[in-house]
């Protein structure tokens, strides 16, 4: 399957591996289990609403993102999780398949610094049941990600 995320990687000449799995329900932990990878390297692609803009928060499957820390890292006073409807509208992807790769709108991306310590990360490719594994440095470069502490705790 060729998703918009995979097309974006191809266009940027970035090395990646496609990991397909049977999508049953939403959840990065379920995806990590399905492809047999550690939860800390499989990302949740979370969308947040901050003032008049939306942001991506990328964090390992088992971790929880702090809206306070996301606000601090992005320069916003108030940040909240976007509604599923807004997340789908601004990214062009269905919830459960959201990715910053090939999204409809280019949003500010915040990547959790603990998660970024992995040499490779796995992220949704823009379709439910399709992931891509790529070098962390390539993900940061492609998305212009801000690496920051966005983790609860």
Boundaries of every domain in the chain: 4-148
Strands (DSSP E) along 7-140, which ranges? 17-20, 43-50, 53-60, 79-81, 108-112, 120-127, 130-135
Residue-wise pLDDT tens digits, 28-80: 999 999 999 999 999 999 999 998 999 999 999 999 999 999 999 999 999 99
Q: What is the pLDDT of residue 9?
A: 96
Q: What pTM does this model have?
A: 0.94
Strands of 120-127's sheet, edge to edge?
Answer: 17-20, 130-135, 120-127
Taking all residues of the chain, what is their mean pLDDT, rounded to a whole number?
95
State the pLDDT at residue 24: 86
Integer Cα distance of 93 and 31 in angstroms = 17
Confidence of residue 25 (pLDDT cuts 50, 70, 90): confident
Name the class of domain 4-148: alpha beta
């Amino acid at each position: 399957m060729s998703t918009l995320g995979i097309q974006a990687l191809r266009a940027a000449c970035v090395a990646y591996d496609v990991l397909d799995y049977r999508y049953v329900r939403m959840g990065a932990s379920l995806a990590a289990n399905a492809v047999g990878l550690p939860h800390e390297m499989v990302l949740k692609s979370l969308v947040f609403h901050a003032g008049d803009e939306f942001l991506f928060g990328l964090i390992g499957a088992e971790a929880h993102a702090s809206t306070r820390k996301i606000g601090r890292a992005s320069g916003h006073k108030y940040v909240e999780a976007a509604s599923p409807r807004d997340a789908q509208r601004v990214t062009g992807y269905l919830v459960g398949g959201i990715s910053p790769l090939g999204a409809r709108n280019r949003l500010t991306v915040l990547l959790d610094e603990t998660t970024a310590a992995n040499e490779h990360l796995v992220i949704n490719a823009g379709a439910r049941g399709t992931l891509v594994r790529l070098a962390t440095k390539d993900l940061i470069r492609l998305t212009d990600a801000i690496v920051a502490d966005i983790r609860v705790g």
